[in-house]
Amino acid sequence: MTLNQQILLASRPAGEPTVDNFRLVSVELPALADGQVLVRHHYLSLDPYMRGRMNDGRSYAQPQPLDAVMIGGTVGEVVESRHPAFAAGDQVVGMGGWQTHAVVDANQPGLLRKVDTTHIPLAAYLGAVGMPGVTAWMGLTQIIEPKAGETVVVSAASGAVGGALGQLAKARGCRAVGIAGGPDKCDYAVRELGFDACIDYKAHRDLKSLLAALKEACPQGIDGYFENVGGVILDAVMLRMNAFGRIAFCGMIAGYNGEPIPMANPSLILVSRLKLQGFIVSERMELWPAALKELGTMVATGKLKYRETVAQGLAAAPDAFLGLLKGRNFGKQLVKLV
- C-alpha angle with apex 300: 288 to 165, nearest 5 degrees? 55
**Burial tier of 333 (Cβ tally within 10 Å: 0-12, 13-18, 19+):** buried
Confidence of residue 310 (pLDDT cuts 50, 70, 90): very high
Confidence of residue 110 (pLDDT cuts 50, 70, 90): confident
pLDDT higher than 90, residue 315: yes
How high is the pLDDT of residue 252? Answer: 84
What domains are defined for the chain? 3-127+307-336 (3.90.180.10), 131-282 (3.40.50.720)
Confidence of residue 239 (pLDDT cuts 50, 70, 90): very high
Q: What is the mean pLDDT of residues 90-115?
A: 96
pLDDT higher than 90, residue 320: yes
How high is the pLDDT of residue 245? Answer: 98
Confidence of residue 216 (pLDDT cuts 50, 70, 90): very high
For residues 124 and 73, give the distance between their C-alpha atoms in angstroms, rounded to a whole number. Answer: 12
Confidence of residue 215 (pLDDT cuts 50, 70, 90): very high
Tell me if 4 sits within 8 A of 100, measured CB to CB. yes
pLDDT higher than 80, residue 257: no
Confidence of residue 254 (pLDDT cuts 50, 70, 90): confident
Q: What is the DSSP letter of 243?
A: E
The partner residues of 180 in beta bridges, in order of sequence, read: 200
How high is the pLDDT of residue 250? Answer: 93
- For residue 324, give the nearest of 141, 156, 130 by alpha carbon: 156
Write out the H or E segment, with its range, that includes residue 26: strand 22-28
Instruction: Quickly count: other Cβ atoms within 10 Å of residue 313's Cβ.
Output: 13
Q: What is the mean pLDDT of residues 120-146?
A: 98
The residue type of 10 is A
Q: How many residues does the chain have?
A: 338
pLDDT tens digits, 277-303 = 999 999 999 999 999 999 999 999 999
How high is the pLDDT of residue 62? Answer: 85
Q: DSSP for 289-310?
A: HHHHHHHHHHHHTT-S---EEE
pLDDT higher than 90, residue 19: yes
For residues 272 and 231, give the distance between their C-alpha atoms in angstroms, rounded to a whole number. Answer: 19
How high is the pLDDT of residue 261? Answer: 86
How high is the pLDDT of residue 113? Answer: 96
How high is the pLDDT of residue 321? Answer: 97
SS3 assignment, position 81: strand
Radius of gyration of the chain (CA): 20
Write out the H or E segment, with its range, that includes residue 44: strand 36-45
> Which pairing describes strands 3-9 and 22-28: parallel, antiparallel, or unpaired?
antiparallel
Tell me if 214 sits within 8 A of 244, measured CB to CB. no
How high is the pLDDT of residue 17? Answer: 95
pLDDT tens digits, 138-176 = 999 999 999 999 999 999 999 999 999 999 999 999 999
pLDDT higher than 80, residue 202: yes
In sequence order, what are the residues at sequence separation of 6 or more whose Cβ sits closer than 8 angstroms to the Cβ of residue 254?
A: 229, 230, 231, 233, 261
